[in-house]
Each structure stands twice: as structure tokens, then as C-alpha cells.
Amino acid sequence: MRCRILVLGWITLLVFPIPAFLLLHIQEGMDFFDFISLKTFQIIPIGFGLQLGFVYGLFAYLMMSAPFFDKVPNRVEHTVQSMNLKWYDGIFLSVCAGIGEELLFRVGIQYYLGWLPTAIIFVAIHGYLNPWNWRFSIYGILLLPFIFLLSVGIYTFGIWFAISAHFMYDAVLFSILINKKVKHVE
């Protein structure tokens, strides 16, 4: 299971951005360096993104831990714990998702659909807006403001803000959930 998850991480990092880049390159003439926005790779927006991701990651963990979500089938922490990941796997997967998903969604899809539909699609594709599981959908609704901030934040701070926020959000959750598993085993 762990190997398959790590392969999916590589696919997310390397394959997800390709359709967005190709579409923008063909239709808009965008080159690769504009696509990855190296010009907006600045420490202050990245710092803001890391802070936002850290705070929202802790908030998300507290929400997941609330008794209200105890009856949710396929809980995120059970899924993460079943992957048998090490802490560095969680960091790797966080980097992959932060870069791959944000380039696909924020740079590619959002360019054509706008920030609001893209944010909703992003949360829905992750399974957090599920009409057959209303409790899980509540978690998705709690996640939407974070994704809204990433989606709107790129207009002011650039894509690296969204990448760093997404990375930190995932890294916080992976770190807590992987550490929680290790503590259970001991």
C-alpha cells in the first residue's frame, strides 16, 4: 500500500500539471516558466501560505477529532494510518499535492472556470462534498473557506502562496496522523 501511495504522489507531482500547461501553452502561448510562476516565487507570500496552511491544518485536525465526526465511515485518520507511512513520506506527499494539484487547479482550471467553481470542484473531487454522507460533507464545507483563500490569494500573492499553504496543510495533517499512529503502536 505504501509503495502505491508514493507512486501516486509522483504522478500527482509530475503528471497533474501537464494538461493545464499544455492547454495554456497551446491556447494562450504561455511558456513553462510563466506557468510555474518563478517571478512570484518570493519569501513573504510563501511565508503567508505556510502560516495559513499551518493554522488551517490544525483547525482541520481539531474538527476531524470532534465527536460529531466519529460516525463518519472511512475516516481520514484511518486511511492515513492504514498506509503505513513514515513522517518523510507525509512530507513528500505534501510537496507532491501542493505543487501538482495547485498547478492543475489554480493555474490551469481556475484560469478558465474562475476561482469559485474551481474551489468547489477541488473539494468535491477530494470526496469531501458527498451527498450520501452528510457528516463528511460538513467537513468539506469547513474546508471550503481554506480553498477559497487559496483560490483568491493567488491573485494577490501568486501561485507559490497557494502551493505553500496546501503543502503545509497536508504536512500538518500527515505529521499529526502519522505520529498518532506511531504513539498507538508503542
Instruction: Choose the weakest-confidence range: 70-79, 137-146, 152-161.
Output: 70-79
What percentage of the chain exceeds 90 in pLDDT? 71
185 — pLDDT class (breaks 50, 70, 90): very low
Whether residue 49 lies inside any domain: the answer is yes
Whether residue 36 lies inside any domain: the answer is no
Q: Which residue has the higher pLDDT, 108 or 184?
A: 108
Looking at the structure of the chain, the number of domains it has is 1
Say how far apart CA 101 and CA 120 lie, in whole Å: 14
Whether residue 37 lies inside any domain: the answer is no
Three-class secondary structure assignment of the chain: CHHHHHHHHHHHHHCCHHHHHHHHHHHHCCCHHHHCCHHHCCHHHHHHHHHHHHHHHHHHHHHHHCHHHCCCCCCHHHHHHHCCCCHHHHHHHHHHHHHHHHHHHHHHHHHHHCHHHHHHHHHHHCCCCCCCCHHHHHHHHHHHHHHHHHHHHHHHHCHHHHHHHHHHHHHHHHHHHHHHHHHHHC
What percentage of the chain exceeds 70 in pLDDT? 94
pLDDT(182) > 50 = no
Whether residue 176 lies inside any domain: the answer is yes
Whether residue 38 lies inside any domain: the answer is no
pLDDT(125) > 60 = yes
Whether residue 34 lies inside any domain: the answer is no
Each residue of 148-181: b (16+ CB within 10 Å) or e? ebbbebbeebbbbbbbbbbbbbbbbbbbbbbeeb
Q: Which residue has the higher pLDDT, 136 or 92?
A: 92
- Chain mean pLDDT for the chain: 91
Residue 153: all three cell numbers together? 490569494
Domain boundaries, position 155: 2-29+43-68+76-185
pLDDT(72) > 80 = no
Whether residue 139 lies inside any domain: the answer is yes
Q: Which residue has the higher pLDDT, 132 or 124?
A: 124
Please, which residues have CB within 8 angstroms of residue 62's CB and are 6 or more apart in sequence?
A: none
Whether residue 64 lies inside any domain: the answer is yes
Q: What is the arithmetic mean of pLDDT over 91-116?
A: 98
pLDDT(14) > 50 = yes
